[in-house]
């Protein structure tokens, strides 16, 4: 008798800053280890990455299959994208257009306007950030709190700050 089926995958449209943060800490492969999530990246985001090492890591992730490159193809996706590029960058606009039209989550560390627009269009709780991805990995036992805190320290050296001292402080009790 087969066991219970796993929950359906939740598609997460991934923005440039998440991919860069994960390459900085050498953990881009985490995206393959975080059920129930399945990560996709718009071609606009792939094209935004100019650093050869980062671009190479992202292309390797796509080739390995744990990150899927997607295109805006539907008329509605393209119309929303055209609207959004008037107020935000092309990668963020592509992510938000895809997430809105396809009912996906978004992974991004963008704040202010992007955050407000995401909540307006998708509702609250539809946005993952770098800290949330690392926290999910801790909960699944993929990485330790110590690994996540080391990643946090590496990101802080690159001017990416998280507003807590340790992942231990934000773990549910």
Q: Per-residue pLDDT tens for 153-168?
A: 999 999 999 999 999 9
Please indicate, yes or no, if residue 77 is contained in any of the structural domains.
no
Which residue has tokens 């080391």?
150
Among the listed residues 32, 29, 136, 43, the one whose alpha carbon sits nearest the alpha carbon of residue 95? 43
In a domain, 60, yes or no: yes
Q: How much is the pLDDT for 80?
A: 98
DSSP state of 25: T
**Residue 15 maps to a domain:** yes
129-153 average pLDDT score? 96
Q: Is position 51 within any domain?
A: yes
- Buried-exposed string 85-101: b where 16+ CB fall within 10 A, e elsewhere: beebbbbbbbbbbbbbb
Q: Name the residue range of residue 147's domain.
A: 10-71+104-109+124-170
The residue behind tokens 């592509």 is: 94
Please state the rounded mean pLDDT for residues 65-91: 97
pLDDT on residue 29: 95
Beta strand extents in the chain (DSSP E only): 10-14, 37-42, 67-70, 105-107, 127-128
Average pLDDT score over residue span 48-60: 96
Per the structure, the count of domains in the chain is 1
Report yes or no on 89 lying in a domain.
Answer: no
Residue 1: pLDDT band (50, 70, 90) is low
Residue 30 has pLDDT above 60, yes or no: yes
Evaluate if residue 127 carries a pLDDT over 80: yes
Q: Residue 159: how many CA atoms within 13 Å on its side-chain side?
A: 1
- The answer to whether residue 115 is domain-embedded is no
Interval 139-156 mean pLDDT: 96
Tokens of 77: 């996706």
Q: What phi, psi does 105 have (nearest 5°)?
A: -85, 170
85 found inside a domain: no
């Amino acid at each position: 008798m087969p066991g219970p089926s796993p929950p359906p995958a939740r598609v997460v449209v991934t923005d440039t800053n998440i991919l860069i943060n994960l390459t900085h800490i050498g953990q881009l492969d985490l995206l393959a280890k975080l059920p129930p999530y399945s990560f996709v990246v718009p071609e606009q985001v792939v094209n935004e990455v100019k650093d050869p090492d980062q671009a190479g890591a992202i292309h390797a992730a796509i080739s390995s299959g744990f990150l899927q490159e997607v295109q805006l193809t539907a008329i509605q996706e393209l119309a929303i994208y055209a609207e959004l590029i008037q107020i935000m960058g092309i990668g963020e606009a592509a992510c938000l257009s895809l997430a809105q039209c396809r009912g996906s989550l978004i992974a991004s560390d963008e704040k202010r306007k992007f955050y407000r627009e995401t909540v307006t269009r998708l509702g609250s709780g539809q946005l993952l950030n770098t800290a949330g991805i690392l926290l999910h990995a801790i909960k699944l036992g993929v990485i330790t709190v110590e690994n996540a805190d080391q990643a946090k320290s590496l990101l802080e050296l690159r001017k990416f700050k998280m507003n807590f001292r340790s992942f231990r402080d934000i773990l549910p009790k």
